[in-house]
Structure 1
Amino acid sequence: MESLTALRQGSGFLEARVLAQLLLALFQTEVWVEGKERVPQGPLLVVSNHRSFLDAPVLITGLERPIRFACHYYLSQVPLLREVAFALGCIPLQQGSGPQLAFFRQAQATLAAGGGVGIFPEGAEQITRETSPQELGRFQPGFAHLALAAGVDPLPILPVAVWAQHEWRGMDIPMAFFRWFDPTEPRFQQAGGHPVVIYRQVVVRVGSPLWVEGARRYTCRQERLQVIQELTAAAREQVRLGLVER
């Protein structure tokens, strides 16, 4: 049974990786990776900055690991985008800002099976407005909550910076288009458009894993919140350093 599960996971990853590579070839995106030797084997929680719809394909290709990324609710509703997201193995978030119980269940199951989960802690903040390649938004702590609740011991959180050296801006998509699919997202209520950022040359900089071990899970609420804040700050700092020009 375990070998069958591994075979299915491997097959799914190959399909996702082939699609990721095809998307990068379609948009003529070149990817370089720094620090690939830091990518652990086994269960893995990847956190990264997020400015383009190409971030997931870039990371799946660059890290060479099966990674199921959390994706915004509207991606699971828009035709074509939905099929691409599911083929990449993405796990859609639920509509609205309530508890993401379905995502957490799928993410925990993926980690327990030895796979990788990817989260963009900035949420929709950076991808829905014009930003520079080195700009980094606030990190939401959801990934740290997941790490402590995952039941995988030890679990590495891997901070990764996606730094675009050269990119192209397509025509913005009106926010009203996305509002039609997800009327609960506050950012889709804004005027203007959703930027379309297409990477031409991008560097993936892998940080040092932040290991979450069993002793950190069984603390009182105050200590647990402190650990979550520390993990969130440490992951963001590593991503920030990865976006610094060298």
Structure 2
Amino acid sequence: MERSEPAVLDTPWARTVPARVARELIVCGALGACMDAYTRRTITGREQLEAMEGPVLFVANHASHMDTPALLRALPPRWRRRTAVAAAADYFYADPKLAATVALAFGTVPLARKGGGLEGCTHLTSLFADRWSLVLFAEGTRSRDGNVGALRSGAAVLAAEHDLPIVPVHIGGTHETMPTGRRWMQRAPGLGIGSRRPITFRFGAPIRVREDETPAEVMERVRLFLAESGAATTPRERTARREPQPTR
């Protein structure tokens, strides 16, 4: 197995108790205070998680680098403590220092964005066996205009392979707060220093892969949820790629 394969790049130490304690302080402490200074959040549908047990796949749209800490913080504590985030191996794991930083701060696990299918993902088998859930941003990259791009089918492939439910999540307002190309959050225009921008998180009912469904059909159900939540989405005919899609 080559060094560049995701399973080799994984950092299991980031899922130890000391790392999880540090991550809680980062996400809900330092970053949480910063996000509260720039945004006001609304969370709906989270009660559906109360009767569920992990692992699950949280599949969300992606419009900003702040999506990751904001979504982790929106999870109930018992879920947040055992939820990892898929991250692009070619982007976040090319530099060992950056890899260690995102692994500690956000509990990332590396995934290939191109050509690998489920190959090189043996570390995910161990992750799910240890009852860890996983956040996947289904577009595979951040939206440049705030609209939801074509959903890749990797999340559906993983859900079928590991018999996991998909919990769709719509994230709203993060593009306006910290769009692609911007290094920090911004307030809404207003008097003085401006006002806090609204951000929203809507958790949907779990989606189970049916035996007769293709990955694209599963992701179409995710797309419909995002559209019902108010997102501008890309039609199903463009949701045909199969590899698991990490964040960038």
**1:26 Cα deviation from its structure 2 partner:** 2.7
The answer for the alignment partner of 1:231 in structure 2 is: 218
SS state of the match for residue 185, structure 2? strand
**1:16 Cα deviation from its structure 2 partner:** 2.6
CA distance in 1, matches of 2:139, 2:127: 22
| Residue 46 (str. 1) matches residue 63 (str. 2) | no
| Residue 55 (str. 1) matches residue 67 (str. 2) | yes
The answer for the alignment partner of 1:25 in structure 2 is: 33
Structure 2 counterparts to residues 19-168 of structure 1, below 5 A:
19-21=26-28, 22-27=30-35, 28=37, 29-39=39-49, 40-64=52-76, 65=79, 66-72=82-88, 73-78=90-95, 81-87=98-104, 88-94=106-112, 97-99=114-116, 101=118, 104-124=121-141, 126=143, 129=144, 131-132=145-146, 135-150=147-162, 152=163, 155-164=164-173, 167-168=176-177
**1:112 Cα deviation from its structure 2 partner:** 2.0
Query: Is the Cα contact below 8 Å between 1:91 and 1:103 reproduced in 2?
Result: no
**1:91 Cα deviation from its structure 2 partner:** 1.0
Letter in 2 for 1:156: P
Query: Is the Cα contact below 8 Å between 2:66 and 2:174 reproduced in 1?
Result: no
Where relative contact order (Cα < 8 A, 6+ residues apart) is larger, the structure is: 2
Which runs of no fewer than 5 residues in structure 1 stay unpaired? 1-7, 173-193, 217-222
The answer for the alignment partner of 1:211 in structure 2 is: 208
The answer for the alignment partner of 1:187 in structure 2 is: none
Distance 1:197 1:145, change over 3 A: farther
**1:47 Cα deviation from its structure 2 partner:** 0.2
CA distance in 2, matches of 1:48, 1:58: 12
Structure 1 residues 44-63: Cα deviation after superposition (integer angstroms, max 9, x where no partner): 11100001111111111111
Distance 1:76 1:210, change over 3 A: same
**1:103 Cα deviation from its structure 2 partner:** 5.9
Structure that is richer in strand per residue? 1
CA distance in 1, matches of 2:206, 2:100: 32
Identity %: 25
SS state of the match for residue 177, structure 2? strand
Query: Is the Cα contact below 8 Å between 1:24 and 1:30 reproduced in 2?
Result: no
Distance 1:240 1:14, change over 3 A: farther
The answer for the alignment partner of 2:5 in structure 1 is: none
CA distance in 2, matches of 1:26, 1:33: 18
Letter in 2 for 1:24: G
Alpha-carbon RMSD: 3.0
Query: Is the Cα contact below 8 Å between 2:64 and 2:174 reproduced in 1?
Result: no
CA distance in 2, matches of 1:10, 1:209: 28
**1:159 Cα deviation from its structure 2 partner:** 0.2
CA distance in 2, matches of 1:52, 1:120: 11
Query: Is the Cα contact below 8 Å between 1:45 and 1:117 reproduced in 2?
Result: yes
CA distance in 2, matches of 1:103, 1:62: 30
SS state of the match for residue 145, structure 1? helix
The answer for the alignment partner of 1:177 in structure 2 is: none
Relative to the length of structure 1, the TM-score reads: 0.69
SS state of the match for residue 23, structure 2? helix
**1:163 Cα deviation from its structure 2 partner:** 0.7
Letter in 1 for 2:24: R
Query: Is the Cα contact below 8 Å between 1:162 and 1:203 reproduced in 2?
Result: yes
**1:196 Cα deviation from its structure 2 partner:** 4.6
